Amino acid sequence: MANLASASSFLDAHKKVSLTRLRSGAEQVSVAIDLVLDTFKMAYDVSLSDDSWPQDRFALVSGSTSNTCEQLDVGSSASLSFTFESNLKGVFHGSAVVKFRIPTKAALQEAYSTPVLPFDVLVNKPPEKKFAFLVAAPSKANTEESSKKRR
């Protein structure tokens, strides 16, 4: 989880992405973002949005890429989840934006979620090589027979 930057930060926003290959030749991209207020403070006018997905590459299938809440109290959380489909190959990564107000500052604060590591959409992955190892050890019976034959 990333603690949003600044000395007065108290929000954690964590973004997770999972991929599922579809039979149609497309790939389904599922995104979940969790936002947690983890100190004694409050946050107001909280908005969480993830507009980092190019519309020419990703088609929204379910959910919404934004969520708002009037107030988050200590220990409270907000989340966002949505699913895209893509039929274009390539590498992608991005972060969500969190905007909020805190009681000690009048200005709207802005921060980013943890970025997802670049991931490949619809890239053919080489098959995993599996190795089988055979370990052989002589049994006692074979060892005794071998020593008798050598004499």
> Where are the domains positioned within the chain?
2-123
| CA distance linking residue 17 with residue 119, whole number of Å | 9
Residue pLDDT tens, the chain, 151 long: 344 434 345 778 889 999 998 888 889 999 999 988 877 578 889 999 999 899 899 999 999 999 998 988 887 888 889 999 998 888 888 889 999 888 888 889 888 888 888 888 887 655 444 444 445 555 565 555 555 555 5
Q: What is the pTM of this model?
A: 0.70
Intra-chain end-to-end CA distance of the chain, in Å: 70
Angle at 4 between CA 118 and CA 113, to 5 degrees: 30
Spell out the CATH class of 2-123.
mainly beta
Which secondary-structure segment (H or E) carries 113?
Answer: none
Q: Which residue's structure tokens are 């988050």?
A: 72
